[in-house]
């Protein structure tokens, strides 16, 4: 799927972006939808504006339905791979043999073809699942499955970032560039982003989504597809740093997660336990290190 968003031509365009046949060749929904809202207290008529689309996305592994997430219909192949890796459904990108993105009447189906070993793991995890959730603990049915330490140690922070001045400079550059590298956010004001940054803070990859977890999963999937060395930089996100965001970053082998907003206590404890550097309130040339 293309990394550019499809913009409808006007307010009369179908909001679902599909035709009436709903077959496998139907177009996928657009990432942005044009609307004409009523502005209360305004002194002029409302202009046309864009809002972000939010679509149910079903992840199916070798025909087995595992989860339904709400996501922006963009970079879905990256999302499929990143979600599968950070949820522990794949041991490596090589376990994903193929992925097809299919439009459905009520959403999108991501049909993943995975190795037999991964299929067996999925069947084992589904035996006692009572339901699904759109949160970061999707597919988890007991407390023992919540905390999943990385299979490999979190790498150390690159030497270029060990000095406080260099770290602050890199974090500040990353957040400054990230604010200018979010086309969906600039059009809607309601989108999260996750970026992979070099040791100097330069943005290398950016992914956007209505969900902060989805944006990070898309980024991790894109990095895996491109063969990016996750130890040579850090991730920056436009959200708070929650437990599952920290866990996803650690499982992806990132040495640091930098968030524009606050962390939770569980996120701090998890980062400390696995050796991930965690920075919060990264803005205006300052940051707070929590782990």
CATH of the domain at 234: 3.40.140.10
pLDDT at position 122 is: 85
How far is Cα 142 from Cα 214, in angstroms, rounded to an integer?
Answer: 22
Average of per-residue pLDDT across 90-107: 95
| Domain membership flag for residue 9 | no
Which parts are annotated binding residues? 281-286
| Domain membership flag for residue 123 | yes
> Pick from 111, 145, 179: which residue ends a domain?
145
Same domain for 214 and 118, yes or no, is no
Same domain for 128 and 170, yes or no, is no
| Domain membership flag for residue 126 | yes
Same domain for 179 and 262, yes or no, is yes
| Domain membership flag for residue 26 | no
Rg value, the chain, Cα = 20
Same domain for 78 and 188, yes or no, is no
> Pick from 80, 112, 145: which residue ends a domain?
145
Percentage of residues in the chain having pLDDT higher than 90:
69
Alpha carbon of residue 158 to chain centroid? 24
Residue 24 pLDDT grade (very low, low, confident, very high; cuts 50, 70, 90) = low
Residue 182 has pLDDT above 80, yes or no: yes
| Domain membership flag for residue 273 | yes
Residue 42 pLDDT grade (very low, low, confident, very high; cuts 50, 70, 90) = confident
| Domain membership flag for residue 96 | yes
Average of per-residue pLDDT across 1-19: 34
> Pick from 89, 123, 145: which residue ends a domain?
145
pLDDT at position 40 is: 86
pLDDT at position 81 is: 98
pLDDT at position 3 is: 38
Same domain for 169 and 276, yes or no, is yes
pLDDT at position 11 is: 32
Q: What DSSP line would sit under 105-162, residue for residue?
A: TTEEEEEEEE-HHHHHHHHHHHTT-----SSTTTT--SGGGT----SSPPPPPPGGG-
Average of per-residue pLDDT across 224-232: 96
Contact by Cβ (8 Å): 174, 236: yes
Same domain for 115 and 184, yes or no, is no
pTM for the whole structure: 0.85
Q: How many domains would you assign to the chain?
A: 2
Same domain for 165 and 250, yes or no, is yes
Same domain for 252 and 196, yes or no, is yes
Same domain for 66 and 185, yes or no, is no
Do strands 256-259 and 234-237 pair parallel, antiparallel, or not at all (unpaired)?
Answer: parallel
Average of per-residue pLDDT across 238-260: 95
pLDDT at position 250 is: 95
3-state secondary structure of 70: strand
What ranges make up the beta strands (E) of 11-123? 32-35, 49-52, 55-61, 64-71, 96-104, 107-114
Residue 125 pLDDT grade (very low, low, confident, very high; cuts 50, 70, 90) = confident
Residue 22 pLDDT grade (very low, low, confident, very high; cuts 50, 70, 90) = very low
CATH number for the domain harbouring residue 91: 3.10.20.10
3-state secondary structure of 205: strand
Residues, the chain, total? 291
Same domain for 165 and 284, yes or no, is yes
Residue 14 has pLDDT above 70, yes or no: no
| Domain membership flag for residue 24 | no
Same domain for 112 and 76, yes or no, is yes
112 is in which domain, residue-wise?
Answer: 55-145
Do strands 192-197 and 107-114 pair parallel, antiparallel, or not at all (unpaired)?
Answer: unpaired
Distances (CA, A) of 125 to 86, 109, 145, 166: 15, 20, 10, 44
| Domain membership flag for residue 19 | no
Average of per-residue pLDDT across 231-254: 95
Same domain for 244 and 197, yes or no, is yes
The catalytic site residues sit at 135
Residue 1 has pLDDT above 60, yes or no: no
């Amino acid at each position: 799927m293309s990394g550019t968003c499809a913009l409808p031509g006007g307010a009369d365009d179908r909001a679902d972006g599909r035709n009436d046949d709903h077959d496998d060749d139907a177009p996928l929904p657009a990432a942005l939808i044009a609307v004409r809202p009523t502005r209360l207290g305004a002194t002029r008529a409302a202009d046309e504006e864009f809002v972000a689309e939010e679509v149910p996305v079903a992840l199916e592994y070798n025909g087995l339905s595992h989860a339904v997430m709400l996501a922006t219909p963009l970079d879905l192949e990256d999302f499929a791979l990143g979600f599968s890796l950070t949820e522990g459904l794949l041991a490596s990108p090589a376990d994903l043999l193929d992925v097809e993105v299919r439009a459905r009447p009520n959403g999108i189906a991501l049909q993943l073809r995975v190795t037999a070993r991964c299929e067996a793991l999925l069947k084992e995890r589904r035996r006692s699942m009572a339901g699904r959730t759109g949160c970061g603990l999707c597919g988890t049915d007991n407390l023992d499955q919540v905390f999943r330490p990385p299979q490999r140690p979190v790498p150390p922070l690159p030497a270029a970032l060990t000095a406080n001045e260099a770290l602050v400079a890199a974090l500040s550059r990353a957040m400054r560039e990230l604010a200018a590298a979010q086309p969906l956010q600039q059009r809607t004001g309601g989108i999260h982003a996750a970026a992979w940054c070099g040791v100097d803070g330069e943005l290398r990859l950016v992914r956007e989504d209505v969900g902060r977890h989805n944006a990070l999963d898309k980024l991790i999937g894109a990095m895996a597809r491109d063969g990016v060395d996750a130890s040579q930089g850090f991730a920056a996100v436009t959200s708070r740093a929650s437990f599952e965001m920290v866990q996803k970053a650690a499982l992806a082998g990132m040495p640091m997660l930098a968030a524009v907003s606050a962390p939770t206590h569980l996120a701090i404890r998890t980062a400390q336990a696995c050796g991930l550097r965690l920075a919060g309130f990264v803005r205006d040339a300052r940051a707070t290190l929590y782990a």
